[in-house]
A = this chain, B = another copy of it.
Amino acid sequence: MAAYLEPLARLINALSKLPGIGQRSAARLAYHILQQPEPEVRELAEAIYKARRDIGTCPICGDYTVGDQPCGMCQDPRRDGSVLCVVRDPRDVAAMERSGAFRGRYHVLHGTISPSENRGPGDIRIKELLVRLRDGEVKELILATNPDLEGEATAMYLARLVKPLGIKVTRIAQGVQAGADLEYADDVTLSRALEGRRDM
């Protein structure tokens, strides 16, 4: 019963830690990798390492950016700075942008309030949001956290926090399927959700 060669075992182990990839898929991927030309494998390894090394979060909105400079959208004068869309993850920004329905700016929380996972308001980028709201440029805050338990709780919390500041607070409409992940919503659904947003 021969074990895998050490470099192969190490590769299978590393691959199997990726989401949705079990031992079997990991082995299949590993054998595939061994059969590819070395430059292609080097490209994959470099792309993995460099993406992690070179991509940071924008100090303003929290979206991904190269290095630690403010991101392109925060610096883009064509984006409407009076409307701020609050999302959980950078992937949600990408999903919103794919829909093309939003021309304002974003604020990425990097998480949601989750009592069950012991994550409170201090663990996500709420403090940074309040700093952004201070100068009065933002007239409307669109809460676009996921339509699930944690996303709703986070939206409720933010609404209560921000409305007293005299800023209009809206929630994306439940055009997005309840319980679904924002990232996988199609463009039309996301557009409708934006159009149908209501006061909170």
Known: A8-B51, A8-B64. A72 touches B41 (CB 8 A): no
Q: Is the beta-carbon distance between A44 and B97 smaller than 8 angstroms?
A: no
Q: Give Cα A52 to B100, complex, Å.
A: 41
Q: Give Cα A46 to B49, complex, Å.
A: 9
Interface stretch of the complex, out of A16-24, A113-121, A145-153: A16-24
A contact face: mostly helix, strand, loop, or mixed: helix
The contact of A10 among B2, B10, B27, B47, by CB within 8 Å, is B47
Q: Is the beta-carbon distance between B38 and A52 smaller than 8 angstroms?
A: yes
Q: Is the beta-carbon distance between B2 and A72 smaller than 8 angstroms?
A: yes
Known: A48-B11, A48-B14, A97-B1. A20 touches B25 (CB 8 A): yes
Q: Nearest-CB distance from A11 to chain B (Å)?
A: 4
Q: Nearest-CB distance from A159 to chain B (Å)?
A: 27
Residue of B nearest to A46 (CB): B45
Contact string, A29-60, partner B, CB cutoff 8 A, digits 1/0?
11111101010111111111111111100000
The contact of A50 among B2, B10, B17, B31, by CB within 8 Å, is B10
Q: Is the beta-carbon distance between A64 and B32 smaller than 8 angstroms?
A: no
- Which residues of A, 79-113, contact B by the 8 Å Cβ criterion? 89-91, 94, 97-98, 100
Q: Nearest-CB distance from A146 to chain B (Å)?
A: 15
